[in-house]
A and B are shown apart, each in its own frame.
Chain A
Amino acid sequence: MIEATFVTFLVGLLGATLRVATPLLFATIGELYTERSGVLNLGIEGIMFLGAFVGFAIAAKSAEAELAGYLWLGLGGAIVVGLIMGLLMAFFSVTLGVNQHVAGLGITLLSTGLALFGFRMIFGQSSVLPSIEPFAQLSIFGDLPILGPIFEQYLLTYVAFIVLLPLAWWLLYRTNYGLELRSVGENPEAADAAGVNVFRVRYITLALGAALMAIGGAFLSLAQLGAFSPGIIAGRGWVCIALVIFAKWDPIRAMWGALLFGGVFALQLRLQLLDLVDIPFEFFLALPYLVTIAALALAGRNVAYPGAYLKAYRRE
């Protein structure tokens, strides 16, 4: 009897882990690609937030107009706004060559401000948060005994783990673009001398990376919550920055990092429900972040940063 409860608990936990890890995986891969090109994009938190907002706003308005694929329109909108923010970051860090910390934080402030402003403009101030009917969970192996619930996931979760992850690995290590990307981030002078257009590779990568961050944000508003609130991202962008270092800039390790955070997050939700005496629920809320810091402290020492990390490239 106890065993059965435990199995149910474990299965639920695993399912939730994958769900929580999905937006992190999108955004972490986005940041990982960006950093591999030699640019740190601290705009990630804001871009996720803006992606969540734009996705939600477009979906909500499209739903009002009774458009069938309103969620997909929202997702598309989030991707577009992500691309734009990525290009803006590229303009600052690649073309102008300004300090990447400042440019990135500027993007986060700008994106956050835009999203909050847009939210107020479109939805006004109401006591009830506006909501939409979110993406439904697929149950591909739903009738599988015991393990079935693990596979009850959103399409985007399947996309993240089965499409995005292998694609990110293949693109990075087995294609021309990936080779150029890695060399641009390690030694742009060498890449330039070999005939690689450093600026173009960085522009493309920053745009793609930011689009992935925006998808990560939109997943929260369009799938997991079906709503948008000012606290929706809750520092997940900063967690992704840490996960990239934890991952040592490798997509597969990034997946383990996202799963670790997702696992602890899912676990703390369940621990809160257990109603343990005397431990305030804020402690549980903080737990995933603490684990991230601990994991980073253990795995992130003596890591080899990309050679051109934080450096703008200038031909003399």
Chain B
Amino acid sequence: MDRPNAIEMRHIYKRFGSLVASDHVNFTLRQGEIHALLGENGAGKTTLMRILYGLYHADSGEIVVNGQAAEIKSPKDAIAVGIGMVTQHFALVPPLTVTENIILGYTDGFQINLNEAHRRVAEASDKFGIPVEPKALVKDLSVGQRQRVEILKALYRNANVLIMDEPTAVLVPQEVEQLFESLERLRRQGLSVIFISHKLNEVMTITDRVTVLRLGQNAGTVETQSTSPPELARMMVGRETFGVTKTAGKPSQGKIVLELAQVAALDNKGLPALKNITLQVRAGEILGLAGVSGNGQTELAQVLDGTRLVTAGQIKVLNHDITNVGPEKVMAAGVGRIPEDRHESVVAELSVAQNMALEHLDEFTRQGVLNKKTLLEHAKKLIAEYQIKASPGDKIRTLSGGNMQKVILARVLERNPQVIIVAQPTRGLDVGATEYVRGKLLEQRRKGAAILLISEDLDEILELADTIAVIYEGEIMDILPAAAAETERLGLLMSGVKADKVGA
């Protein structure tokens, strides 16, 4: 196993203002290994890799590539020493073709010979076993296809070290499988891969070694074969507890609270986004809506909270018709909403106390004048109850993602809504905050709320939902009890394979 090291990062130190993002981190990548960089959000994984790729500059520390000290000041330098990176938000230019994206910044001469370029990209595609269509426009490609373009782009530049920043976050299970197969094959061809992730099972599946980062420090490097998910989890969070548990999954027999009948709606471009959606959510039930992003989830959430018009069908809460009545009446009917983009559901420049009162200001006013005292007391009460690390007067934009989400949660849940529409509730949150949010949702379920959980995180849905509906291109593919939902089956449904073909 004693191969020379592809990369050595020594004592890398980087601070942003008062935050030390990388605290004298050592990291070693062997040639021809897949090495996971594991840690919670904000643990410094991405920072470390951005330093390696020249997007950030370390305050101190050194980088050694193939035994030689390397000065990496920009991605160009990184590319020159054979390092490629596939970032979370793909670094592609959508209106350009696949070929143009791949050769961008890596061409010789002034004029581009397009035919020659197409040919070379096709050649590379064959050589590395990564299928792409050279002449296709990137904007027409699926997320999985775009990722392949990114990988090929790095390999085209003769990368022998590939950094992948949470590559599976955007993929359906089948695409993940394909990706892993490709990486495995490339590894055999001699490629070294750094695989940034916070998903334990993936790390266990694909990697040779794991380095865990916690709070900007290296919490240890272990051989994957000789470790276990609980051990990695402990290294990540510094404690053993992990995950929340749902009280056993007997299907809810509560009355139907939220009901959608043949609902249709258009997206912002005027194209059909929702087609014939029929769903029922019972009291004390969490209905998980699974799907790859952009298949109508956003529009469905908007239709339900009254911010998007329904073009056909009916929405009822406890037999009251709330179709197209507008957000105010929807809320009055007992619907609480925790929207997808938490920055859009708060006003960044207003204080925590003001944001907490935002959805029902009338309760805090006397003759149209805000009563600061009740506002403040209300905020103090919620801050204590929801363990929010902030004071009432703080501007909301200064809060971390987790605390901001708690503010929104507090605002919605204190009113004991009968229906809760919650979208991507834990996106971008660390393990602690995620656990808290999920715990709160389960608590509401126990109290008898009907919860529609829209999430792109399949693990989250499997963990919380009683019933799972899968949405694909604005249609519900299937609805099944959580107990009967296997990852593979959900993955097929999420990629549009109809229910009757799944069983075969």
Contacts and interface: CB of A to CB of B under 8 A. Distances in A.
Interface of A: 174-180, 182-183, 186-187, 189-197, 304, 307, 315-316
B94 A196 contact: no
Given A180-B104, A189-B91, A194 B153 contact: yes
A187 B94 contact: yes
Contacts of A187: 91-94
A307 B91 CA distance: 13
A179 B109 contact: no
A175 B110 CA distance: 6
State which size class the interface on B falls in.
Answer: 20 to 34
Nearest to B109: A176
Given A187-B91, A193-B87, 17 more contacts: A174-B111, A179-B100, A182-B96, A183-B93, A183-B101, A186-B95, A187-B93, A190-B92, A190-B93, A191-B104, A191-B105, A192-B74, A193-B85, A194-B105, A195-B76, A195-B105, A316-B56
Contacts of B215: none
B55 interface: yes
B79 interface: yes
Nearest to A189: B91
A173 to B, nearest CB: 9
A182 to B, nearest CB: 7
A190 B91 contact: yes
Contacts of A183: 93, 96, 100-101, 104
A185 B370 CA distance: 46
A70 B11 CA distance: 65
Contacts of A196: 104-105
Interface string B52-80: 01011000000000000000001110010
Nearest to A194: B105
B205 interface: no
18 contacts: A174-B112, A176-B107, A176-B109, A179-B104, A180-B105, A186-B96, A189-B91, A190-B90, A190-B92, A191-B104, A191-B105, A193-B53, A194-B106, A195-B79, A195-B106, A196-B105, A307-B95, A316-B55
A297 B262 CA distance: 38
Contact of B112 (A176, A191, A195): A176
Interface string B37-55: 0000000000000000101
A315 B57 CA distance: 11
B433 interface: no
B94 A307 contact: yes
Nearest to B100: A179
A186 B94 contact: yes
A13 B94 CA distance: 42
A287 to B, nearest CB: 34
B75 A195 contact: yes
Contacts of B114: 174
A179 B75 contact: no
Contact of A175 (B93, B111, B153): B111
B421 to A, nearest CB: 30
Contacts of B92: 187, 190
A174 B103 CA distance: 12
Contacts of A189: 89, 91
Contacts of B107: 176, 179
A183 B91 CA distance: 10
Contacts of B94: 186-187, 307
A249 to B, nearest CB: 10
A315 to B, nearest CB: 7
Contacts of A193: 53, 55, 75, 85, 87, 91
A259 to B, nearest CB: 26
A148 B114 CA distance: 40
B75 A192 contact: yes
Nearest to B76: A195
Nearest to A187: B93
B19 to A, nearest CB: 13
A316 B111 CA distance: 32
Contacts of B112: 174-176, 178-179
User: What 8 A-B pairs have minimum CB-CB distances, sorted nearest first?
Assistant: A194-B105, A190-B91, A195-B76, A195-B105, A193-B91, A196-B105, A183-B93, A186-B93
A176 B100 CA distance: 10
Contacts of A194: 75, 91, 104-106, 153
Contacts of B101: 183, 190
Contact of B103 (A178, A179, A186): A179
Contacts of A178: 112
A315 B55 CA distance: 7
A192 B76 CA distance: 8
Contacts of B93: 182-183, 186-187, 190-191, 307
A304 B104 contact: no
B406 to A, nearest CB: 26
Residue of B76, B100, B104 with most chain A CB atoms under a 10 A cut-off: B104
Contacts of A304: 95
Contacts of B90: 190
A69 to B, nearest CB: 30
Residue of B75, B93, B106, B153 with most chain A CB atoms under a 10 A cut-off: B93
A195 B110 contact: no
Contact of A195 (B56, B74, B100, B111): B74
Contacts of B89: 189
Nearest to B84: A193
A200 B306 CA distance: 47
A197 B53 CA distance: 15
A177 B105 CA distance: 9
A197 to B, nearest CB: 8
Contacts of A195: 74-76, 79, 105-106
Interface string B162-174: 0000000000000
Contacts of B53: 193
Contacts of B103: 179
Nearest to B111: A175
A168 to B, nearest CB: 15
A153 B56 CA distance: 55
B219 to A, nearest CB: 25
A190 B74 CA distance: 13
Contacts of A174: 111-112, 114
A192 B94 CA distance: 15
Contacts of A175: 110-112
B472 to A, nearest CB: 27
B63 to A, nearest CB: 17
Contacts of A179: 96, 100, 103-104, 107, 112
A28 to B, nearest CB: 20
Contacts of B87: 193
A176 B75 contact: no
A280 B79 CA distance: 66
A260 B109 CA distance: 37
A176 to B, nearest CB: 5
A178 B92 CA distance: 16
B121 to A, nearest CB: 14
Nearest to A304: B95
